[in-house]
Structure 1
Amino acid sequence: MAEKPWGQLGVPHLGDSHAGDRRIGEVSFEHPHGLSLPVLVKYLYTSERLSIQVHPDDQQARAFGHECGKDEMWIVLAAEPGATIGLGLKQSYEPDVVAAAIADGAIVDLVDWRPVRRGEVIYNRAGTIHAAGAGLVLLEVQQSIDLTYRLFDYGRPRELHLAEGLAVSRFEPHHDPRDCQLGKGESRVLADGPHFGAAWCAGGLPEGLPVNPDHWQLVVVSGTASIGGLSLSEGEAAYTQSLVGLTMARDAVVMLAWPAQKSMAEAA
């Protein structure tokens, strides 16, 4: 759980014991024994626009001395009327145009602010200039690293990373075939590599899940589920090495995440 100035009061996944005047921006799930996980799953709660930012890919991140880059995927769980997410730029621009726009604040007008609604899935590939807007509850799946280069932060007194951010940015619109709108009662695999897998499970498991991933992270989005002797309700999560014995209420929705499967060449 992390307090953020852009977070929300009274977030829905913490229970009454956490009520108060704290602005919660993130609630993330950790390994039950404190071990590191290659995939991070968390809730995001926004009451104002986050910084305009970008993440490097694996190759770029390693060149800067980091373990990996950061792809991420958002599932919109709630969106206030008029809520938007900035995804890529409205059109392709030369890097020097974007750099000048950051300097005078015009970058806000270059970003493609898209209206979003509940059930929308957005795959935010590394290199995409982006920003989550206000009034959102998002479920995020990402490569497990805190690696963000801020390009513009509306005058907030936080560090910017202009040289690094501009070096890894793609100065173009956002397009990704994994973006979709979930239908009511729909179960489907949302992503299956190259960095992580994720699936939306409404009342049951979808076809196309991997046969034998290293482990699964399971988050109950609504309703109830049980696995391995654990009974889970909305907002709770479990780490498991098998889905055998998973039961879901008929009206339950569960999100599954798993680490990317190694290719035969990588495993050799």
Structure 2
Amino acid sequence: MVVFGNVSAANLPYQNGFLKAISSGGCDLMGHRSFKISTSFKTRTRRRRSAGPLQVVCVDIPRPELENTVNFLEAASLSASFRSAPRPAKPLKVVIAGAGLAGLSTAKYLADAGHKPLLLEARDVLGGKIAAWKDEDGDWYETGLHIFFGAYPNVQNLFGELGINDRLQWKEHSMIFAMPSKPGEFSRFDFPDVLPAPLNGIWAILRNNEMLTWPEKINPPIFQVWLTELILQDYELLAASSGPQKLSETTLST
């Protein structure tokens, strides 16, 4: 099945320089599995006796055993090869432009191999497209959703090496979109556990009748236009990451 996870930027441990760099940002990730697991965070709501908002209680569920999958074992073996390789006689000084996920992980593995990376970032927030930052009121803002499928075992292995697996929130695979034509309303795409990817995605699209009509679903050119517009909306959110206020306005308007 496909499950979602979330890393809390506020709670990442400061184990070393690279982990400290990653902990300055946050990321939303999604793991993909071919076998059935339970979601690791279940929520239930309970209305108070007196008038008031719903109370949400979160229950932690154990992390799935991703380490036993073939692709994860291959990623772990590749990562271990950097640490076990002979130390270079003359360590290279490598300049890395951009402290996004790619830049941070590259610096980490170069250091594992015995080299001396220099990581450059223009912004005062690390993490790139998966960055998060705290405003003056103490509220956390995320740049946007970033997803990871089972085809990305390296990132799962990376989080394990950094010791932040306990900061992941596992969730069922449901994509929820705000509907621009109906402010305040949302539409869900639920991916069934019993179908492997990409069949579960096809099923989720076919079952959603709020954002796509049947003529749009069965007409590839129309569907391609819809998907392109959806992607462009994501780019608008990323472009608005220059400030929390602008990001908030863009998020509320799309």
* TM-score, normalised with respect to structure 2: 0.24
The higher relative CO (CA closer than 8 Å, separation ≥ 6) is in: 2
Higher relative helix content: 2
Give 1 or 2: higher strand fraction.
Answer: 1
From the CA coordinates, give the structure whose radius of gyration is larger. Answer: 2
Alignment TM-score, normalising by the size of structure 1: 0.23
